Amino acid sequence: MKTWLKCIGSTKKPITGECSVEQVGFRKLKRPSIRAGDILFLYAPGHRRIFALAEAVSDPEHDADYNANKDGSCFWKLLVSCSINMPVDAGIQLGDIRCSRDLRLSVRQASHVELRADESQLADRELRQAYKKFQEKQSV
């Protein structure tokens, strides 16, 4: 099992509010390395925040509805199940995950980046704390 940082949306078309995520897409023609059972931290580049934690429940499959001329259409799709999913603004800043590299630079070059153990552990801890605070605010 691997852990990934996966971009959802873009800086040009950022996602806002809550994002119902049941699948994630990949635009490049090369088959993504993510596999069923892998863990994904979902990242909104327009806000530079990690807002969800998901598990891949399928291997990447070619999207039969792919249209290269349609904005947002993805060549590959991957089904996911979220254990944490909150509004983007309640998520954690990517810059707060400071370990062996600057992840902000890594995601500029790829839609998904494999996380190292220290990055994954810190992201998990910070996201769970943010989710707990989010839940507490919702119950008031």
Q: Residue 39: its pLDDT value, please?
A: 98
Stretches where the chain sits below pLDDT 50 are none
pLDDT in tens, 61-83: 999 999 989 887 889 999 999 99
Q: Residue 14: its pLDDT value, please?
A: 58
Q: Residue 21: its pLDDT value, please?
A: 76
Q: Residue 109: its pLDDT value, please?
A: 72
Sequential DSSP letters for 57-82? -S--EE-TT--TTSTT--SEEEEEEE
Q: Residue 82: its pLDDT value, please?
A: 92
Q: Which two tokens stand for residue 2?
A: 């691997």
Residue ranges of the domains in the chain? Answer: 3-138
The CATH architecture assigned to 3-138 reads Roll (3.10)
